[in-house]
Amino acid sequence: MNENFNVCIVGKPNVGKSTIFNKILDKDISKVGQVAGTTIYPISSSKEFKNININLIDLGGLKKKSKSYEGKQKLITSHTIKQINLSDVVFFILDGNDEITKNDKQLFRLILNKLKNVIVIVNKTDLIKENLKKKEDYFKFFFKKNYPNILLKPIFISALKNVKKEFLLKKIYELFLNTKKIIKNKDVNLALKNILEKHQPVYSKKSRPTIKFLRHVNSKPMIFKAFGNKLTSLSKDYKNFFIKQVLINLKIYNQIVVIKYLNNNNPYSKS
Ligand X SMILES: Nc1nc2c(ncn2[C@@H]2O[C@H](COP(=O)(O)OP(=O)(O)OP(=O)(O)O)[C@@H](O)[C@H]2O)c(=O)[nH]1
Q: Looking at 61, 154, 201, 209, which residue binds ligand X (CB under 6 A)?
A: 61
Q: Looking at 75, 126, 165, 245, which residue binds ligand X (CB under 6 A)?
A: 126
d(CA 18, CA 25): 11
d(CA 3, CA 15): 30
CA 56 to chain CA centroid, Å, is 16
Is residue 124 part of the contact set for ligand X (CB under 6 A)?
yes
Residue spans of beta strands (DSSP E) within the chain: 3-11, 43-49, 52-58, 89-95, 117-123, 155-156, 210-219, 222-229, 257-263
Question: Segment contacting ligand X (CB under 6 A): 16-24, 82-90, 131-139, 202-210?
Answer: 16-24
d(CA 30, CA 23): 10
* Cβ(159)–Cβ(26) below 8 Å: no
Is residue 73 part of the contact set for Mg ion (CB under 5 A)?
no
Contacts (CB under 5 A) with Mg ion, residues 15-54? 17-18, 38-39
Binding mask 134-173 for ligand X (x = CB under 6 A): ------------------------xxx-------------
- Name the residue nearer to ligand X (CB basis): 79 or 244: 79
d(CA 188, CA 171): 23
Size of the site for Mg ion (CB under 5 A): 4
Sequence-distant (6+) residues with CB within 8 A of 254 are 89, 117, 118, 119, 150, 151, 152, 171, 175
Q: Min. distance of Cβ 122 from ligand X in angstroms?
A: 10
Binding mask 198-237 for ligand X (x = CB under 6 A): ----------------------------------------
- Name the residue nearer to ligand X (CB basis): 30 or 255: 30
Sequence-distant (6+) residues with CB within 8 A of 14 are 34, 35, 36, 37, 38, 61, 95
Binding mask 152-191 for Mg ion (x = CB under 5 A): ----------------------------------------
**Closest chain position to ligand X (CB):** 61
Q: Looking at 18, 80, 149, 255, which residue binds ligand X (CB under 6 A)?
A: 18
Sequence-distant (6+) residues with CB within 8 A of 107 are 10, 11, 12, 62, 92
Which residues form the interface with ligand X (CB under 6 A)? 11, 13-19, 32-34, 36-39, 60-61, 123-124, 126-127, 158-160
Which residues form the interface with Mg ion (CB under 5 A)? 17-18, 38-39
